[in-house]
Structure 1
């Protein structure tokens, strides 16, 4: 039994655990994908797969684990982000396996799941709101939110990092950017984090996950229909107003505005939660790096990049071959689903020296966490800005921070996503809060 098996399943043999027994002869990420215990600490497994099966087929799905292949696939012009090209989805629709109400939702796709020319058109409508100048205008807002959270926590000497900071911060920032009430998402309609983790645009699968995803999509669609109607008579300097002005010029439809709003809330939320939680965990486990950031806050941007590489908030992404093609010598048939494992690519020793070392001074840190090519994450600058604000402020203000539990609790229904992370620290004296 390997090291990861011994750490996660003490006293058991590999043959007692079906996923591990299978991997003894045929290692692949997929048997581990839904295994919560293993995905809490997956990186030793990734190193094994990078050595033994960096590219492999499992059923109809092609799995790619290493940096060179994942990077090439992300940038390949015939690798699509629209899973309606997939043979699996086409077969399910043809066979009647997918009910009509779920088939109908497949048309409600944001530009995240579209290809050119629609992708180019829709992304172009909102891209002006993600320029460096626009993002910097949100930095004081993010700083104020972080400071207010820490002001409340300071006298207690403790904070639940996810619930009190990592969850509300990106919701408030993206709602400010959109021009919609943040309190809705933190109060009355508060979509649970498990809902936002779910693929909010119904995937090609079937069963409970697909039905749940479609239900979340329906809730969000109705909410944004109301917000769009309100905003029409009250345009301002915000993203929703920009889209409504583009609608008046015939560049986007009302339905597409709703699709984009849903994307912005979900995509602008989950990656940033993971960035904050994973980053603070890495800093606390590497106190020399936390001290370095405390001494040199100018390293904040570099620290954010290293967190994204070292413990990627989004562990994988899906693509599909739009036609017969080849990726670094691997032939891929038209309609083949492709699973691109970003987190293992970001730990590939062929690309990153000493990849399992957390080093906020690392140079040439071109990780793949935000994707690549035309689908490179539009919101990357927004997530980076929030990470910089959080890490520098926590490093400066938290004296002797300690994890209450290591490892923290991870979400059972998500892939490597921290659910809660309690910290203690030396309380700030009242004079420091004045």
Structure 2
């Protein structure tokens, strides 16, 4: 049997619609929950998604993935804690948070300096690809700084981030060759990290890898998987946040003008980007018991697809949801998820997004899009432009611009 929701959902998966999936989100949003197939449900309502993200009867641990790594015994290795349930999830997350959070609190000056260095390479009039010039190199530089990786290794991390990210997409969107490539990439990632880990086992430093080894108590397998998660979640999502935010500002020049006149608006701009065009498109759960959602009962063992952008544009929650409006009151978006799996790097992503979008607004004179819509990367789950080419009249170096000191 083909259910009505299956048609617009297939269009969401189609790369040809990646540049503007929102008509299909709107089509699905007619009901807060509906069937995708016999054992899969799609949830689009903001209230319903918010509740389900916090419901302990929904498991983040999916069935065995054909892309999963295997240990020496041939059995699948546990995935990152993002895809695990308590108590295993809680242990690994607490170990990571204890080392990660204190380190990112001191990253603000490094982020601002990195943004300035990246933009200082340009003069006007000229052109740049915002993805290549800023959105990609900024989070790579930040994650390498956290991990204690030298700057010359940044291109390697860039490459791994792009290749590993496809592992998060629904398996039905990947070819057999892409699945095989991902298995090989994960093996290469472990091989690349092992010497780095070994050096810190014998001579730990002050970086995040050393902290997770010596104080966090992670073993090598857990550490390589966690570092892969931090690379993807801490890099690819921020790339899309910066690119999607730049696109939104250039499509809404009146907002860009307000931001340029009032740098203190930048935190609200970033929050509205996260609502209006979030980097993460969906998150999946599986029920461990019968769960009532709106007027439906989802049986135990069924898959639940939470469409975060649909919830972020739910007209029952947000007035004029398609409008890009940074001053929007009570902007409780779903971009970072919720519950025990709330995004570990949310504060860092906000810092990087604020620094990048604030600097672009302050320093670029008369920026404009060269192509609209831009081309998009193949990733469905982490959605963002492959490139974002813009033209500008000048790149200024104002002494007055600053990153507002707002907590993440």
- TM-score after normalising by structure 2: 0.88
Q: 1:373 Cα shift?
A: 0.3
Q: 1:106 Cα shift?
A: 3.3
- Structure 2 counterpart of 1:274, from 236, 240, 254: 240
Corresponding residue number in structure 2 for 1:19: none
Corresponding residue number in structure 2 for 1:196: 164
Work out the CA distance in 2 between the residues paired with 1:224 and 1:174: 14
Work out the CA distance in 1 between the residues paired with 2:195 and 2:84: 25
Higher mean displacement: 205-214 or 137-146 = 205-214
- Structure 1 counterpart of 2:341, from 375, 395, 398: 375
- Structure 2 counterpart of 1:364, from 314, 327, 330: 330
Contact 2:5 2:35 in 1 (8 A): no
Are 1:127 and 2:97 matched, yes or no?
A: yes
Contact 2:61 2:83 in 1 (8 A): yes
- Structure 2 counterpart of 1:34, from 13, 18, 23: 13
SS at match of 1:76: coil
Corresponding residue number in structure 2 for 1:349: 315
Distance 1:329 1:232, change over 3 A: same
Work out the CA distance in 2 between the residues paired with 1:126 and 1:174: 14
1:4-153 paired onto structure 2 within 5 Å: 28-51=7-30, 54-84=33-63, 89=64, 104=74, 106-131=76-101, 134-153=103-122
Deviations 1:209-265 (A, max 9, x none): 432322221121211222111222332222111111135xxx432211111111111
Q: 1:29 Cα shift?
A: 3.7
Are 1:245 and 2:214 matched, yes or no?
A: yes
Distance 1:26 1:228, change over 3 A: closer
Contact 1:27 1:52 in 2 (8 A): no
Bigger share in helix: 1
Distance 1:401 1:99, change over 3 A: closer
Contact 1:162 1:421 in 2 (8 A): yes
SS at match of 1:153: coil
Deviations 1:256-306 (A, max 9, x none): 111111111111011100100000000000001011111111111111110
Q: How many residues align?
A: 396
Deviations 1:115-169 (A, max 9, x none): 11111111111213444x6434111111111111111112462211101110111
**Bigger Rg over Cα:** 1
Corresponding residue number in structure 1 for 2:390: 423
SS at match of 1:339: strand
Work out the CA distance in 2 between the residues paired with 1:202 and 1:65: 18
SS at match of 1:409: coil
Work out the CA distance in 1 between the residues paired with 2:32 and 2:325: 27
Corresponding residue number in structure 1 for 2:405: none
Distance 1:431 1:49, change over 3 A: closer
- Give unmatched runs, 5+ long, in structure 2: 400-408
Contact 1:28 1:53 in 2 (8 A): no
Contact 2:200 2:210 in 1 (8 A): yes
Corresponding residue number in structure 2 for 1:17: none
Corresponding residue number in structure 1 for 2:406: none
Work out the CA distance in 2 between the residues paired with 1:102 and 1:331: 41
Work out the CA distance in 2 between the residues paired with 1:255 and 1:430: 45
Contact 2:276 2:313 in 1 (8 A): yes
Corresponding residue number in structure 2 for 1:171: 140
- TM-score after normalising by structure 1: 0.83
Q: 1:102 Cα shift?
A: 12
Contact 2:19 2:374 in 1 (8 A): no
Work out the CA distance in 1 between the residues paired with 2:158 and 2:385: 19
Corresponding residue number in structure 1 for 2:254: 288
Give the RMSD, CA atoms, in angstroms: 2.9
Higher mean displacement: 235-244 or 289-298 = 235-244
Distance 1:119 1:429, change over 3 A: closer
Q: 1:329 Cα shift?
A: 4.1
Q: 1:62 Cα shift?
A: 1.4
Work out the CA distance in 2 between the residues paired with 1:162 and 1:265: 17
Q: 1:333 Cα shift?
A: 2.3
Work out the CA distance in 1 between the residues paired with 2:9 and 2:228: 29
Work out the CA distance in 2 between the residues paired with 1:425 and 1:146: 17
Corresponding residue number in structure 1 for 2:402: none
Work out the CA distance in 2 between the residues paired with 1:431 and 1:355: 35
Q: 1:28 Cα shift?
A: 4.6
